[in-house]
Amino acid sequence: MKKSLIAAALAATFLTACSKPQVEAEQTTVAQAPAAKAELGNFGIDLTARDESVKPGDDFFMYASGTWYKNYEMPADKTRFGAFSALAERSEEQVKVIIEDIAARQNLNAEEQLIADFYNAFMDVETLNKLGISSIQPLLTEIDAIDNVDKLTKVFGEAWLTGVNSPIGGGMWFNRLDPNQYEMSMGAGGLGLPDRSFYLEQEERFVKTRAAYVAHIAQMLGFAGKDNAEARANAILALETKIAEGHWPREKRRNRDLTLNQIKRDELAAEYPGFNWDLYFAQTGYQVPQLNMAQPEPIKAMIALINNEALTVWKDYLTYHAISGNAGLLSEDIFTANFEFYGKQLNGQQEPRARWKRAIEQMSDTDSLGFAIGKVYVERHFPESSKQQMSELVENLRTALGERIDNLDWMGEETKVNAKAKLAAFTPKIGYPDVWQSFDGLTLKRDDLMGNVKSLRQFFQADSVAKELQKTDRNRWGMTPQRVNAYYNSSFNEIVFPAAILQPPFFDPNADAAVNYGGIGAVIGHEMGHGFDDQGSKSDANGIQRNWWTDADRAAFEAKADKLAEQYSQYEPIPGNFVNGRNSLGENIGDVGGLAMAYHAYKLSLNGKEAPVIDGLTGDQRFFLAWAQVWKEKRTEQSMLNQLRAGTHAPGQFRAQAPRNHDAWYKAFNVQPGDKLYIPEDQRVRIW
């Protein structure tokens, strides 16, 4: 299901995610070795995961989790697994029990009936197989009837409803210069592969991927009865390559100075001519008095392609994406064909996830039934005491960061006043929304999966259209409570922690303080850090994008950020393929800064006392090990490549190495010059 822009654009998340109109997102995991139950110390560290033959100063990831990494065998239905995955699976199992309990009962209330009807429709494979491709035949018929650019534009404008791909897209987001208002945010999209680099790079692996993509497109066109499918598929690849050439690189797309380009609706046709904007927006229902054109040149490049490329190729392009984009809602043969490319070839996943897991995934988004399910999830699995303890941790981290700002030697007093004001204005949201999403007026059917998905899309679109000209809703959440993740929203200057992440190993009310601060404390610090990363720092305490820095302080900050980007760009998980330190910079600042805040808060929590030694580990050792084991993960090579090219986060094995910028880590593990991770003290990156 297509995500709403508001859900998708919460880029400053703790974890990871890929392309439509380009805005970012993310996810993570905690796993045990399959052969034996992990031996957890009474403080929450997985002792058996460690590989003590590895020096901490050579590879802290393998020292903390190397035995697990070497012994763990990736299940056939996974492309990555780690600390976050295990927690996500726990949440998924809990949600399964909730849904199956509801689906088995009679006399359901209105929201329970919605959950039961959608789940039963998704699980009814027999009906889906009988329907085959007929569920989207009206869409395919509309595409076949395109004989001019206006009809093509109309189909692009309907993409929010139909699930097709569009080279131009967007949705309601917050006005960055007045976060109390919504505005339409527009960007360029339209790719079927994860990133523009998949089309443009000539390395052998990308050449093979493109060949496999052409074969896949031809196969999918066969479901629509298209002849000369291979030739059509090659033409689609050629079109998408031109689309990719018009896109900005990812590191450019995340630069907020470049992506703030506001324009009034009545100026749009003159500034971006050659596109029927009135017809396009008429399909959405929005009035659109003001827009932000997040990628001006790419949008103009897409308009040129819409006008100059053959309609026959655009029709084939839309036909392919109509089938592929909805494959998970169609018959098993169509789903399987789509999985063979996107799952197996592109990500290294050998088998699809169980159908019930795919059903839960489909139902759990913010623009599906996620909050109806989340309400029950919170009642069953999130004690109010956890919310209170989490609130206390957040305030401890706020205090720690405030003290750290006071002590910064590279920032002047004028900027410190503004930084402290922003910190004081942070709004934490913990566990679940204060106001739950209403589903009044929504009806679903037990035997019409595609119809249900369209009904949900229409329901949330109507809700968004109704709020377009109203004051922004600050009660709104961009994640459901059962999601294992967290995020920072710069427009509201808020940090958000769904209930599902507030479980061991990240947060345990009974755990040793070192582990809680190294786990959930660093998560809190990470999200706070996004308010002060290279892009989040461009918004002030009220969420308004403006420069609140002196020139000298901004230059000092950017010099430190440049050093961190250079540091991460040296990591090479696949020969010839490096971490993009510039594209992942915001997340890396969040990690390095968040870890410093959490360590500071941990020390404050000890009230001047020495932490106990537990199972031979000091408090500092437990703190840093807890952090590293949060990033315990294993990936297929294809998944790793996709993360490097299309993700905003460094892979977990390098996030685990963030302590190399912290002096206390060197002392805790006796890291010395000559160790591979050693950085001379005067070259360590200390930002927050």
* Interval 331-348: pLDDT, tens: 999 999 999 999 999 999
Question: Which residue, among 115, 34, 41, has the nearest Cα to 70 in the 3D structure?
Answer: 34
Q: What is the enclosing helix (H) or strand (E) of 169?
A: strand 168-175
Question: For the segment 108-124, what is each residue's pLDDT rounded down to a tens digit?
Answer: 999 999 999 999 999 99
Label residues 323-347 b or e (16+ Cβ within 10 Å = b): bbbbbbbbbeebbebbbbbbbbbbb
**Cβ(173)–Cβ(292) under 8 Å?**
yes
585 in helix, strand or coil? Answer: helix
pLDDT at 27 over 50: no
CA atoms within 13 A on the CB side of 631: 27
pLDDT at 329 over 70: yes
Angstrom distance (rounded) from CA 623 to CA 620: 5
**Cβ(480)–Cβ(588) under 8 Å?**
no
**Cβ(155)–Cβ(142) under 8 Å?**
yes
pLDDT at 92 over 80: yes
Specify the residue for token string 């610090």. Answer: 525
Residue 350's pLDDT band (boundaries 50, 70, 90)? very high
pLDDT of the residue at 503: 84
pLDDT at 38 over 60: no
Percent of the chain with pLDDT over 70: 94
Average pLDDT over every residue of 178-198: 97
pLDDT at 453 over 80: yes
Residue 33's pLDDT band (boundaries 50, 70, 90)? very low
Question: Which residue, among 132, 127, 131, 136, has the nearest Cα to 446 in the 3D structure?
Answer: 127
More confident residue, 519 or 28: 519
pLDDT of the residue at 35: 27
Label residues 487-514 b or e (16+ Cβ within 10 Å = b): bbbbbbbbbbbbbbbbbbbbbbeebbbb
134-330 shares the fold of 15-88+370-683 = no
Q: Which residue type is seen at 468?
A: E
Residue 510's pLDDT band (boundaries 50, 70, 90)? confident
pLDDT at 451 over 80: yes
Average pLDDT over every residue of 525-540: 97
Specify the residue for token string 């977990």. Answer: 652
Which is it for the CA torsion 178, 184, 187, 190, positive or negative?
positive
pLDDT of the residue at 686: 96
pLDDT of the residue at 194: 96
Q: What is the pTM of this model?
A: 0.92
pLDDT at 549 over 70: yes
Q: What would the CATH number be for the domain defined by 134-330?
A: 1.10.1380.10
**Cβ(167)–Cβ(306) under 8 Å?**
yes
CA atoms within 13 A on the CB side of 51: 19
pLDDT of the residue at 12: 42
Average pLDDT over every residue of 32-52: 58
Each domain of the chain, given as residue ranges in start order, spans 15-88+370-683, 134-330
Angstrom distance (rounded) from CA 381 to CA 83: 19
Angstrom distance (rounded) from CA 482 to CA 431: 9
Report the mean per-residue pLDDT for the chain.
92
Residue 44's pLDDT band (boundaries 50, 70, 90)? confident
**Cβ(556)–Cβ(650) under 8 Å?**
no
- Using CB atoms within 10 A of its CB, is residue 469 exposed (0-12), middle (13-18) or buried (19+)? exposed
pLDDT at 39 over 60: no
Specify the residue for token string 């659109």. Answer: 288
Residue 508's pLDDT band (boundaries 50, 70, 90)? confident
The angle, 0 to 180 degrees and rounded to 10, between the axes of the packed helices 585-605 and 619-630 is 150
Residue 21's pLDDT band (boundaries 50, 70, 90)? very low
Long-range contacts (CB closer than 8 Å, 24 or more residues apart) made by 399-402: 399/601, 399/604, 400/525, 400/597, 400/598, 400/600, 400/601, 400/604, 401/525, 401/528, 401/597, 401/600, 401/688
Tokens of 17: 């995610």
DSSP classification of residue 410: S
Helix locations, 309-383, DSSP H: 311-325, 332-339, 346-347, 355-363, 370-381
- Using CB atoms within 10 A of its CB, is residue 35 exposed (0-12), middle (13-18) or buried (19+)? exposed
pLDDT of the residue at 511: 82
Tokens of 137: 């035949």
Q: Which CATH architecture has domain 15-88+370-683?
A: 3-Layer(aba) Sandwich (3.40)
Tokens of 287: 């009035």
pLDDT of the residue at 505: 72
Q: Residue 24: which residues within 8 A CB-CB, separation 6 or more? A: 8, 9, 11, 17, 254, 648
Question: Which residue, among 34, 136, 183, has the nearest Cα to 448 in the 3D structure?
Answer: 136
pLDDT of the residue at 8: 37
Residue 504's pLDDT band (boundaries 50, 70, 90)? confident
Q: By mean pLDDT, which of 246-255, 510-519, 587-596 is the weakest?
A: 510-519
Question: Which residue, among 168, 204, 112, has the nearest Cα to 296 in the 3D structure?
Answer: 168
pLDDT of the residue at 153: 98
Question: Which residue, among 581, 580, 578, has the nearest Cα to 564 in the 3D structure?
Answer: 581
Angstrom distance (rounded) from CA 468 to CA 396: 37
